[in-house]
Amino acid sequence: MRCGFNLLLALLLFHCKIKNTSQNIFDPTTFAGGTAAVLSTLVSQDQVEISSRYQPTDYPAFIKTEILDLDLNRPIAKHFGKNHFRISDNYKDDLVIRDVFPLSETKLRLLFSVSSRSEWREPISIFIQKPESFDNYFFPGKVLEFKFPYPRYIGSISEAKGQITTILMSDGKILLVGGVSIFGNTVSTVEIFNPESGTSTLLPSLNQSLMGMAVCSDPQGNIYVSGGKTTRADPTLDSQISDKIYKINGTSHTVVEVPIPMLRRRVGHSMVCLSNGDLLISGGQFRVGSDENAISNDHEYISIQNGTSSFLGSSANFPVNTVFPSVEYDESKQRILFFGGKDRLAIYALYSKFIYSLDVNSKLFTTLPAVLPTSRSNVTSILVPGGDRLILGGVTGSGVGSRSIESWTEEGSITKTHGFTSRIKNGGSIVPFSNAQVLYTGGVDTYYKSGILELYDHIEKKNFIVDTMMEARSEHSAIQTTKGVVIFGDSALADTRVELYGKD
């Protein structure tokens, strides 16, 4: 029976007319190649699979690194050369294959020359043909397609404003609460922006105009905002700092003041919605002043079910008064992690380089055995595959933005610096782009407002300038959605438009 299949394959290939004798007979785009590929599956079942590290949500950074590594499921990398790869016609003059060589028996490396790094909008395809030097494997050819994100407008919010408190809702829409108008006034607006339709829906307003609130979402999809301040400037009256908590429901479009005020007024604090529906609020400024005595070091537990508020015991307090910490609720381990922060508003503040953990059940507060390379506040913490947590951005001494890209691996208590962003980005946003990539958007670059989009790739351990925003923005919001990264707002830009950095 095997001889019969081999004879049939030989006869079919003999009768197929191939106009170009140099053409690979296993090219799936030709009739002969398709026939040969199908019949070869009957002869041998050892199929070759070729894959790239890039997922559909990734930015294909090989045009910046000029390197693309491919994985094979068979030890045949040595059989592939330049002649087995072709770039799609739309980029054949912009992306040129310089060399192809094996890194191991099952890994290939492609080296490119990029003659143009202008805006790439169309998808790029890399065609792979079967090498003539092996015939014991089934490989009908492979096409790798990569799409590039690009910025475009997709809709508008209700008013021009910046420094908005934002959160992604469970249904994929974005909630916007408060902020600062282009006239310098705080606003009380609550609205929901839908990235799918590009439209915004107004909800009932807050009881007061606020900015700088903490926000979180509970397991039922209710969103809570707490604290904040009524003025853009440093408060001159304690009453300008809020002690209120609001509950917002995106389905019923209700905004309700929770009848449990915080025991302290707070701004620059953190808040976590716990798995049982309660809230834990930590740190922040609670009264007027630029010294450490105006900053809290305690934690406040809000029981939504019981309608009570109480301080945790003093043994749970931060070692120093802390404002602008970054918080992460690690629900699987029932703990809250705190990164960074500072002890006062003055420029000579003490900035933190420690990582703290608060056990939700025992209320035990510990300093973890890891010291970050850079002391700073207002950092962004992002968990990436492999167990690393990236510590990005923030502010260091004298209010200067940090360029450092750092990570913390809990196993072994390892902290590392992976480089620096191209520019200082005060007032910018940092948001996940994919599982291993992070996007920096806008900000103030020393003296001017930036429209740069910069991307850090944690697998490559490199960062790149990848594009420019539709408008230069600072004090804005960037939110990761299923469509890409949505960008909007600026307290000095009379623009209500929302832009999207994403793929088709």
Mind listing the pLDDT tens digit for each residue in 166-183? 999 999 999 999 999 999
β-pair partners for 241: 229
Amino acid 417: pLDDT: 97
pLDDT bucket at 8, cuts 50 / 70 / 90: very low
The answer on pLDDT for 222 being more than 60 is yes
Question: If DSSP states are collapsed to H, E and C, what string results for 434-471?
Answer: CCCEEEEECCEECCEECCEEEEEECCCCEEEEEEECCC
Q: What is the mean pLDDT of residues 273-285?
A: 97
pLDDT band for 35, please (50, 70, 90 cuts). Answer: very low
**pLDDT recorded at residue 9:** 34
Give yes or no for residue 220 having a pLDDT over 60: yes
Nearest alpha carbon to residue 322 among 362, 301, 347, 349: 349
Residue 274's pLDDT is what?
97
Alpha-carbon gap, residue 169 to 216, rounded angstroms: 10
pLDDT at 328 over 60: yes
Q: What is the pTM of this model?
A: 0.88
Long-range contacts of 222-225 (CB under 8 A, 24+ apart): 222/247, 222/248, 222/249, 223/167, 223/169, 223/175, 223/247, 223/248, 223/249, 223/250, 224/248, 224/258, 224/271, 224/273, 224/279, 225/165, 225/177, 225/178
Tokens for 417, please give them: 């610096």
pLDDT above 70 covers what percent of the chain? 91
pLDDT at 425: 80
Mean pLDDT across the stretch 71-98? Answer: 94
Which of 65-69, 308-312, 347-351 has the weakest average pLDDT? 347-351
Query: Are 155 and 134 in contact, with CB atoms under 8 Å apart?
Result: no
Q: What is the residue-averaged pLDDT of the chain?
A: 90
Q: What backbone torsions phi and psi does residue 444 show, to the nearest 5 degrees? A: -105, 115
User: Looking at residues 422-446, what average pLDDT do you find?
Assistant: 91
Say if residue 469's pLDDT is above 90. yes
Supply the pLDDT for residue 399: 81
Does the pLDDT at position 435 exceed 50?
Answer: yes
The span from the CA of 268 to the CA of 290, in Å, is: 13
In the chain, the percentage of residues whose pLDDT exceeds 90 is: 83
Q: Which domains does the chain possess?
A: 44-146 (2.60.40.1220), 212-400 (2.120.10.80)
Q: Is pLDDT above 90 for 25?
A: no
Contacts of 296 (CB under 8 A, 6+ apart): 264, 266, 269, 283, 284, 285, 286, 321, 322, 323
Per-residue pLDDT tens over the stretch 36-49: 444 444 444 588 99
pLDDT value of residue 496: 97
Q: Tokens 């510590």 — which residue?
A: 391
User: Residue 55's pLDDT band (boundaries 50, 70, 90)?
Assistant: very high
Angle between helices 2-15 and 31-43 (to 10 degrees): 170
Q: What is the pLDDT of residue 59?
A: 96
What's the number of CA atoms in the CB half-sphere (13 Å) around residue 239? 1
Q: Is the dihedral of CA 108, 113, 117, 122 positive or negative?
A: negative
pLDDT of residue 23: 44
DSSP state of 342: B
pLDDT surpassing 60 at residue 34: no
What pLDDT is stored for residue 45 in this prediction? Answer: 54
Per-residue pLDDT band for 32 (boundaries 50, 70, 90) equals very low
CA distances from 38 to 74, 169, 387, 413 (A): 19, 48, 42, 53
Given a contact cutoff of 8 angstroms between Cβ atoms, the answer to whether 224 and 246 are in contact is yes
> DSSP E strands: which ranges in 159-213?
161-162, 165-168, 174-177, 180-181, 190-194, 199-203
* Average pLDDT over every residue of 442-466: 92
- pLDDT for 6 beyond 70: no
Give the tens place of pLDDT for each residue, 378-421: 999 999 988 899 999 999 987 889 999 999 999 999 999 999 99
∠ CA 72-74-79, nearest 5°, is 80
Task: Identify whether the C-beta of residue 280 lies closer than 8 Å to the C-beta of residue 300.
Answer: yes
Contacts of 440 (CB under 8 A, 6+ apart): 392, 393, 421, 425, 428, 429, 430, 452, 453, 454, 455, 456, 463
Burial of 45 (0-12, 13-18, 19+ CB in 10 A): exposed
What band does 495 get if pLDDT is binned at 50, 70 and 90? very high
Burial of 49 (0-12, 13-18, 19+ CB in 10 A): exposed
Has residue 123 got a pLDDT over 90? yes
